[in-house]
Amino acid sequence: MSLPFAPRAVSRALRSPNYVCGACRRGLTTSTRLQSGHSKWATIKHDKAKNDAAKNRQRSVFSHEIILATKLGGPEPSLNPRLALAIERAKKASFPKQGIESAIKRGQGISSTGAALEVVTVEAIFPPSVAMVIEIETESKLRSLADTRMWIKKNGGNATPVAYMFERKGMVVFEGKEGWGPDEVLEPALEAGALDVEDAEEGAIIVYTDPADTKKAAESIASATGLDIASMDIVWVPNDDTKVPLEGNENVEKISRFLDQLKEVSGVQAVYWNATQGSVEDSAWEELLNKIDDFE
């Protein structure tokens, strides 16, 4: 993120369920055994991909918790109970020591090698007018820019200014707590200078602020309500009049492939876009959203 808060809050190319590659069709016409083997192998690959995605998402959650705890209370677990708890949870889930150390450093704005991290923002547009803002924390600014722009171009996009389609806001997510909803949080939120309050899944509450007031408002609301801060970000929120429906299988495939390839760029922290579901099937849309979320 471009300000010192935890990074927020998506693949394999989407194909028709009836798609069969040429090599597989040849096998299917000559051998039942090959058909069975192909089916089994496809199932294994599918299951492995799902398991890998789940593991990556879990690692992202632990890393996010450690980074946020470090930014809120400092890098010393003995002086930062929240960080100590986040580390304990990560260790119980076999999160590697190197990952813990890297997350603590990133929470201080430095890389795993000790170099200062620079914030890079890349803007792009993909057919049909889908705008994206990509935020990267990197120790190699020029390389990250070049790699990201390369993947944009390879997938039919164009690196061009689109920030005017979004509004920059602070976003604080508070964990759900019985007896607390947007109505109960509204007064302390307004007193803290918040712009808006919304509800979210599992009883969580989202508070929007001016970017410069995010940390101060989050701590003020947490103190007044006793709610725990789940995340604290500076985000790009698309303007209502610039949102566009995502249409066309080819466009879905290109964006999905781009999000996969973007994972090869080190330090991508978040991806924001202005797309709505349009005619995209629910399963494909959910997959895209998961890929966006994977950059948290």
Domain spans, the chain: 31-115, 117-296
Q: How many CA atoms lie within 13 A of 273 on its CB side?
A: 26
Q: How far apart are CA 269 and CA 263, in angstroms?
A: 10
Q: What pLDDT score was predicted for residue 53? A: 56
Q: What pLDDT score was predicted for residue 68? A: 79
Q: How far apart are CA 61 and CA 99, in angstroms?
A: 12
Both tokens assigned to 32: 């039942």
| Cis peptide preceding 128, ω within 30 of 0 | yes
State the pTM of this model.
Answer: 0.71
Integer angstrom CA distances of residue 160 from 98, 120, 152, 211 = 37, 14, 10, 24
The pLDDT tens digits for 61-74 are 788 788 878 887 88
- The total of other beta-carbon atoms located within 10 Å of residue 221's CB is 26
pLDDT-flagged residues of the chain (< 70): 1-58, 296
CATH fit for domain 31-115, picks 2.40.50.140, 1.10.10.200, 3.50.50.60, 3.40.50.10860: 1.10.10.200
Q: How far apart are CA 256 and CA 275, in angstroms?
A: 13
Q: Strand, coil or helix: what is 12? A: coil
In terms of CATH architecture, what is 117-296? 2-Layer Sandwich (3.30)
Integer angstrom CA distances of residue 49 from 12, 45, 175, 248 = 10, 6, 30, 25
